[in-house]
Each structure stands twice: as structure tokens, then as C-alpha cells.
Amino acid sequence: MVTSVDGDVLKALADPLRIQIIGLLARESLCTTHLVEETGAKQTNLSNHLKILREAGLVDTEPCGRFTYYSLRPEAFTALSAEFAGLAATARLTAEANFKRSC
């Protein structure tokens, strides 16, 4: 079984501020104003990070008047978790079988 983890998703998760945003959105849907207050980041910086998370399929948006609320897409994290679980299972089987390709 070969599992391929999406490179765009991994890149999106590779930034400390984006990880912080994900942690905040796991607890509740927030607009950019809330995220500025919670993270201390500038709004333009946050908007860029949210765009990356949105394009990677990790967050959804919901317009609400003049604001946009962001929320996590749980199914994206469930799929990512399953992919990593598959990699771990394959690595475990390989280690137990002491598989080595001959040189």
C-alpha cells in the first residue's frame, strides 16, 4: 500500500502561524478580526495565510454581512490523518519484516 500525502497540504501546515490559526479554528469559527486579536498578526498577513489554508482545502469560508467567517474542514483532517496512519502501518510492517532492498 503506497500512500501519497498532498504536498500543498503539507506546505500549508508548515507555518507556525497557520498551525496557530488551525488550532483556533478547531474550537470555533472566527472572522479575520478575531484572528488578528488572537494571534497579534496583521490583517493582510492573516488574509494571505487564510488563502493558503483555503486553497489547500483545509478551511471553509462563510460570508456573514461584511465579514467572512473561517472554519476547519474536519473531513480534510480526517483524510490527512488516515494517510499518515497508512504510512505508519506500512512502516511498522516493513520494520517487523526487516525488509531491506539489496544493493
When divided into structural domains, the chain yields a total of: 1
Give mean pLDDT, residues 16-40.
Answer: 97
* Res 50: pLDDT: 97
Give tens-digit pLDDT for 61-97.
999 999 999 999 999 999 999 999 998 998 999 888 8
CB 62 within 8 A of CB 29: yes
Give mean pLDDT, residues 28-52.
Answer: 96
Among all chains, which residue has been given the C-alpha cell 483524510? 79
Say which CATH number the domain at 26 has.
1.10.10.10
| Helical ranges in 1-103 per DSSP H | 7-12, 16-27, 32-39, 43-55, 74-97
Question: What phi, psi does 55 have (nearest 5°)?
Answer: -65, -30
Report if residue 1 sits inside a domain.
no
Q: Domain range holding 63?
A: 7-97
Give tens-digit pLDDT for 43-67.
999 999 999 999 999 999 999 999 9
Report if residue 2 sits inside a domain.
no
Report if residue 102 sits inside a domain.
no
Report if residue 51 sits inside a domain.
yes
Tell me the pLDDT band of 1, cut-offs 50, 70 and 90. Answer: very low
